[in-house]
Amino acid sequence: MNTVGFAIYEVPEEASGQRNVHLNRSFFLRNASAARSETFINLREVCSRFCLPPGEYLILPSTFQPHENGDFVVRVFSEKQADFQELDDPVEYNAKEEEIDEDDVDQRFRSLFEQLAGQDCEISAFELRRILNKVITRRGDISTDGFTLQTCRNMINLLDKDGTGKLGLVEFKILWMKIEKYLNIYREKDVDQSGTMNSMEMRVAVEEAGFSLNNALHQVLVARYSEPELTIDFDNFISCLIRLESMFNTFKALDTNEEGEVEFNIMQWINVTLL
């Protein structure tokens, strides 16, 4: 049983009345709590009574030790009627698209691409899997089972602008830049240096990669991409981000009116779900 407690913070004026707002670490470093539980203790129930001025408050339950996972229930009893809601993040993708052309590719990378691509000057999913797995097996600071063929196909689907089912020079360069970026994020956010990510590290890493997701979606990602011990290795991390980017791009392409809603016909639905 985890050692748990909670703190109560007054909601800042700029976030008043909002539900889709994210209060990050800097907020909690700069603001003192309005109240907190008397102690952190490993009991089934932690209960306290407070008298606070009227206003909007954030209840923040937590474990005493960082990065511990557990389910919990928050119950609030008030003398007068009050409104309660879960504070959550909006769902959006904020990463900047990489835009390069052949002139931006240096000669060293061109030579490497020519060696890897072979006579057709393009890289297939099979070749991509061989290349990536050869590179990551040399690293001792990340845990991985190796990239699957399906993950490599998803990468190609994301970047294959000419519809060949393979990656040309510029497309491969963009993918290489993405993987380098995601590798740096993975290593930086792996706080305990285990080579894998727990659910909290994964949440921070996904946000750093440019994806703003709500709590429900974060839970889905962990359930979908984690190992039995609820850790995410590097290949699953990359697979998750590639899949997310593809889904956001598809939605954006179909949301022609930019209203945040789309309607599918059967053909569009099949195309989307087969990606």
**Residue with the two structure tokens 């980017």:** 245
CA atoms lying within 13 Å on the CB side of residue 82: 14
* pLDDT score, position 182: 95
- Per-residue confidence (pLDDT) for residue 20, from 0 to 100: 66
**pLDDT confidence of 226, banded at 50, 70, 90?**
very high
Higher pLDDT among residues 237 and 215, named by residue: 237
> Which range is most confident: 7-11, 13-17, 85-89, 268-272?
7-11
CA distance linking residue 27 with residue 22, whole number of Å: 10
- Tell me the HSE value of 136 on the side-chain side, using a 13 A CA sphere: 25
C-alpha span between 90 and 100 (Å, rounded): 30
Task: Give the span between the Cα atoms of 183 and 263, in whole angstroms.
Answer: 36
Of 25 and 247, the one with more pLDDT: 247
End-to-end CA separation in angstroms for the chain? 42
- Nearest 5°: phi and psi at 229? -85, 15
pLDDT in tens, 74-124: 898 988 888 888 777 888 998 877 788 888 888 999 998 988 887 888 999
Q: Is 177's pLDDT higher than 90?
A: yes
The answer to whether 197 and 141 are in contact (CB under 8 A) is: no
Measured CA to CA, the distance from residue 91 to residue 165 in angstroms comes to: 30
pTM: 0.79
Tokens of 177: 């830049």
Mean pLDDT, residues 198-202: 90
* Inter-residue contact 209 to 238 (CB < 8 Å): no
| Domains assigned to the chain | 1-88 (no CATH), 102-273 (1.10.238.10)
Higher pLDDT, 26 or 185: 185
179 vs 157: CA distance, rounded Å: 15
Asked whether 97 and 210 are in contact (CB, 8 A), the reply is: no
Say if residue 259's pLDDT is above 80: yes
The full DSSP string for 179-246 is HHHHHHHHHHH-TT--SSB-HHHHHHHHHHTTEE--HHHHHHHHHHH--TTS-B-HHHHHHHHHHHHH
| Mean pLDDT score, 159-176 | 91
Query: Each residue of 31-56: b (16+ CB within 10 Å) or e?
Result: eeebbbbeebeeeeebeeeeeeeeee
pLDDT of 245 over the 80 cut: yes
